[in-house]
Amino acid sequence: MISLLHYASKYKKQLILGPFFKLLEAILELFLPFYMAKLIDQGISQQDTQYTIKMGIYMLLMSVIGLVCVMICQYYASIASQGFGTELRNAVMKKINQFSHHELDIFGSSTLITRSTSDINQLQLALAMLIRLVIRAPFLSIGSIMMAFYIDAKMGLIFLLTIPIFSIILFFIMKKTVPLYKKVQQKIDYLNATISENLSGVRVIRAFAKKEKEIDEFGEVSDDLATAYKNVTNLSALLSPSTILIMNLAIVSILYFGGINVNLGHLQSGQILALINYMTQMLLALVVVSNLVVIFTRAFASADRVNEILETTPTIETSQKATIYTPWKNNQLVSFNNVSFRYTEKSGDVLKHLNFTLAKNETLGIIGPTGSGKSTLIQLIPYFYAPTKGTLLVNGQDITTYETGSLRDHIAIVPQKSSLFSGTIRSNLLIGNPNATDADCLEALEMAQCSDFVDSLPKKLDAEVLAQGQNFSGGQKQRLSIARALIKKPDLLIMDDCLSALDYQTDLLIRKALKENFKETTVIIISQRVSSVKDATALLVLDEGQQVGFGSHESLLKESPIYQQIVHSQAEKEVF
Q: Say if CB 418 and CB 474 are below 8 A apart.
A: yes
Q: Among the listed ranges 2-16, 42-56, 263-277, 284-298, which one has the minimum average pLDDT value?
A: 284-298
Between 266 and 552, the more confident residue is: 552
Q: What is the mean pLDDT of residues 259-264?
A: 82
Between 320 and 43, the more confident residue is: 43
Between 330 and 426, the more confident residue is: 426
Confidence of residue 322 (pLDDT cuts 50, 70, 90): low
The whole-number pLDDT of residue 61 equals 92
| In the predicted structure, residue 73 carries a pLDDT above the cut 80 | yes
Phi, psi of 73 (to 5 degrees): -60, -45
Q: What is the mean pLDDT of residues 514-538?
A: 87
CATH class of 327-410+490-576: alpha beta
The whole-number pLDDT of residue 145 equals 85
Confidence of residue 324 (pLDDT cuts 50, 70, 90): low
| CA-derived radius of gyration, the chain | 35
Which residues have C-beta within 8 Å of that of residue 554, sequence separation ≥ 6?
A: none
Phi, psi of 530 (to 5 degrees): -65, -35
Which residues have C-beta within 8 Å of that of residue 24, sequence separation ≥ 6?
A: 65, 66, 69
Q: How far apart are CA 130 and CA 296, in angstroms?
A: 9
The whole-number pLDDT of residue 206 equals 77
The whole-number pLDDT of residue 199 equals 74
Q: Which amino acid is at 72?
A: I
Q: How far apart are CA 119 and CA 300, in angstroms?
A: 10
Q: How far apart are CA 531 and CA 218, in angstroms?
A: 44
- Look at strands 538-543 and 546-551 and give their pairing: antiparallel
Confidence of residue 279 (pLDDT cuts 50, 70, 90): confident
The whole-number pLDDT of residue 255 equals 84
Q: How far apart are CA 148 and CA 154, in angstroms?
A: 9
Q: Say if CB 267 and CB 208 are below 8 A apart.
A: no
| In the predicted structure, residue 323 carries a pLDDT above the cut 70 | no
The secondary structure element, H or E, covering residue 417 is none
Q: Among the listed ranges 33-37, 116-120, 307-311, 356-360, which one has the minimum average pLDDT value?
A: 33-37
| In the predicted structure, residue 356 carries a pLDDT above the cut 80 | yes
Q: How far apart are CA 432 and CA 443, in angstroms?
A: 13
The whole-number pLDDT of residue 514 equals 87
The whole-number pLDDT of residue 244 equals 79
Q: How far apart are CA 382 and CA 14, in angstroms?
A: 45
Confidence of residue 319 (pLDDT cuts 50, 70, 90): low
Which residues have C-beta within 8 Å of that of residue 381, sequence separation ≥ 6?
A: 334, 392, 394, 399, 411, 492, 494, 524
* CB hemisphere CA count around 460 (13 angstroms): 9
Residues of the chain with CATH 3.40.50.300: 327-410+490-576, 418-489
**70-94: b (≥16 Cβ within 10 Å) or e:** bebbbebbbbbbebbbebbbebbee
Q: Say if CB 460 and CB 377 are below 8 A apart.
A: no
Reported for 433-438, long-range contacts at CB under 8 A and 24+ positions apart, including other chains, are 433/487, 433/488, 433/489, 436/487
Confidence of residue 576 (pLDDT cuts 50, 70, 90): very low
Q: What is the mean pLDDT of residues 166-172?
A: 80
* CB hemisphere CA count around 158 (13 angstroms): 28
The whole-number pLDDT of residue 266 equals 80
| In the predicted structure, residue 225 carries a pLDDT above the cut 70 | yes
**Over the chain, what is the mean pLDDT?**
85
Residues of the chain with CATH 1.20.1560.10: 2-310
The whole-number pLDDT of residue 102 equals 82
Architecture of domain 418-489: 3-Layer(aba) Sandwich (3.40)
Measuring CA to CA, which residue among 316, 322, 399 is closest to residue 99? Answer: 316
Confidence of residue 340 (pLDDT cuts 50, 70, 90): very high
Q: Which amino acid is at 377?
A: L
The whole-number pLDDT of residue 64 equals 93
Q: Say if CB 76 and CB 7 are below 8 A apart.
A: no
The whole-number pLDDT of residue 575 equals 45
Output DSSP code: residue 130.
I
The whole-number pLDDT of residue 336 equals 92
Does domain 2-310 sit in CATH 1.20.1560.10?
Answer: yes
Q: What is the pLDDT of residues 391-438, one digit of tens each?
A: 999 998 898 888 888 888 889 998 888 888 889 989 999 998 888 898
Confidence of residue 320 (pLDDT cuts 50, 70, 90): low
- One DSSP character per residue, 139-168 reads HHHHHHHHHHHHH-HHHHHHHHHHHHHHHH
Q: How far apart are CA 172 and CA 50, in angstroms?
A: 52
* pTM score, whole prediction: 0.70
Reported for 145-150, long-range contacts at CB under 8 A and 24+ positions apart, including other chains, are 145/282, 147/30, 147/33, 147/34, 147/274, 147/278, 148/275, 148/278, 148/279
Measuring CA to CA, which residue among 2, 11, 179, 131 is closest to residue 83? Answer: 11
Measuring CA to CA, which residue among 130, 92, 131 is closest to residue 114? Answer: 92
The whole-number pLDDT of residue 341 equals 92
Confidence of residue 75 (pLDDT cuts 50, 70, 90): very high
